[in-house]
Structure 1
Amino acid sequence: MEWVGDARLAAGPEATWYLEAAFTPGAHLGTVYDDPTTPVVVTGVEELTTIRVPSGRLVVDAPWHDDEVWRYQKGLPARPPRELAVSVPPGVYRVEIAWTAGPYEFFGEHVDGVECAATRLCIGDAPVVGWEMGLAVDEDTDRLQAGDAPRFFSDGNVGCFADAGAWTSLSAPFRTFVDGIPAPRDTEQLADGCERVRDESQQADLVTFGAESGGVVWLGRTEAGDVATIVVTSGMRGAKA
């Protein structure tokens, strides 16, 4: 049976166009701010790493929030992460980043304007026939208002994919403080400042990526309704449903 999504979660024409163009090298995603003659161009799609998700439950959130220090100082437990309501088959998946370039000048100096357009978790190879917003386990479709785009927020402009079953241990390096100051993290450094944390006892991982102010999570569905990919669009770009 062909998949029919919930219209309240479905991506509109603008978001659909962006989600498909962001991972198409050479595509134009608009123009540089204050310079309509210079396009923002998708320069390539990079495989950042792979991630193990043995529980099939996925967190897509910031690995830490500024209020974690306050909660730590008060002896309060960390707040729960934004776990997606949808699950995926337990497995190992590719994490890919779409890069754009929109060069500009800043106080007379040339800036290449390289940015992350979107980050995706590749679940399957079947074609995507539709996109919908990915709700968290505690979010209710019936409470959505017109124009709402549920998202996670990030004080540090960093997001992550992580196995929800191992979240406590995987996120611990980001929530460790000494006298109220974040402690140096013993994490694996990936390209472009991204990090990976491994929990070998549970065979699970956490991978960070750039996410300006957080991001909207989109599910790419196949004709059968399976999730083929999970995409995070950062900042305001591509956030409109």
Structure 2
Amino acid sequence: MPMPAPDFSWHFTPGNTFTEESGTSGTLSVVAGGELWLHTGRVIACDPFVSLGAGEAEPFTAQVEPGRYRVDAAVATLVREGEPEADTPHLRVAAARLVIKEAPTVSWELALQPGQDLAELDDEEFFGYGVDAGTGCFYDAGSDGSFPDCDGDEGPLWDAFDTVPPSPGPHTVTDPATGHNLIAFTSGWGDGAYPTWIGRDEAGAITCFVTDFFVVPVEALVP
């Protein structure tokens, strides 16, 4: 069986707290990231600094109606026991969410790309996207190729994260020629591989896509 999904409503409840074995504690808040234009309804989640416009990231097989959908991030403010308060808070994105429908989520499933089969996964394994630049994003598959200025080590994507004080996002980058946009955020503790989950309501309709960056310890989610 693949890795089970946590209940992500916990991540997106402001004020929830957790404590790591190291003694570091975290308090969650929800940070709005604006609206993502899904003009084809085909969702891509990836590291934009690595895969954007490179044809490497495929959309998920689950599609939604074209439209504009809210993106937000569950951001943990971390404090280590016994250390003095820092001038700048230590922030980590615990999860990023693309909200499709404002309805309670009753079930979760891994978001799959073409050719991926859950039967291939062993216990605790998952399909996800690789991160090599400490960043993730959501965008529409029809927007691939819309951000040529983001290639290389400069451009609007770099500028979005070049803030004082540094901000983990979410940050919106928009192509002025087409209006296509992406919404990006830092990826938890940084590089690695991270799963995206699809939430569904009682009728089986998609409520959201959530990428988990493994900041919240599993123990915090056990009733």
One fold, TM greater than 0.5?
yes
Aligned partner of 2:155: which letter?
R
8 Å CA contact retained: 1:31, 1:102: no
Aligned partner of 2:203: which letter?
A
Instruction: Give the RMSD, CA atoms, in angstroms.
Output: 2.9
Residue matched to 2:9: 20
Q: Report the secondary structure of 1:168's partner residue.
A: coil
The alpha-carbon distance between structure 1 residues 39 and 197, as it changes in their structure 2 partners (threshold 3 A), is closer
Residue matched to 1:175: 151
8 Å CA contact retained: 1:166, 1:199: no
1:139 CA displacement: 1.6
Q: Distance in 1 between matches of 2:49 and 2:160?
A: 17
Q: Which runs of 5+ in 1 are unaligned?
A: 1-7, 69-76, 177-181
8 Å CA contact retained: 2:34, 2:71: yes
Equivalent position to 1:199, from 175, 200, 220: 175
TM-score, normalising length from structure 2?
Answer: 0.80
Equivalent position to 2:75, from 75, 99, 102: 99
| 1:123-142 paired onto structure 2 within 5 Å | 123-142=100-119
Q: Report the secondary structure of 2:185's partner residue.
A: strand
Say whether 1:155 aligns with 2:132. yes
Aligned partner of 2:54: which letter?
A
Please tell me whether Structure 1 or Structure 2 has the larger radius of gyration of its CA atoms: 1
Q: Report the secondary structure of 2:6's partner residue.
A: helix
The alpha-carbon distance between structure 1 residues 174 and 201, as it changes in their structure 2 partners (threshold 3 A), is closer
Say whether 1:53 aligns with 2:24. no
More strand per residue:
1
8 Å CA contact retained: 1:95, 1:119: yes
The alpha-carbon distance between structure 1 residues 198 and 114, as it changes in their structure 2 partners (threshold 3 A), is closer
How many residue pairs match? The answer is 208
Say whether 1:122 aligns with 2:93. no
Equivalent position to 2:57, from 81, 84, 95: 81
Identity of aligned residues (%): 25
1:200 CA displacement: 4.9
Q: Report the secondary structure of 1:118's partner residue.
A: strand
> C-alpha deviations, 1:28-59, integer Å up to 9, x for none?
2x314511xx64222x2121111101011111
Aligned partner of 1:220: which letter?
G
> C-alpha deviations, 1:115-160, integer Å up to 9, x for none?
2121101101121111111112232233222321111111111001
Aligned partner of 1:53: which letter?
L
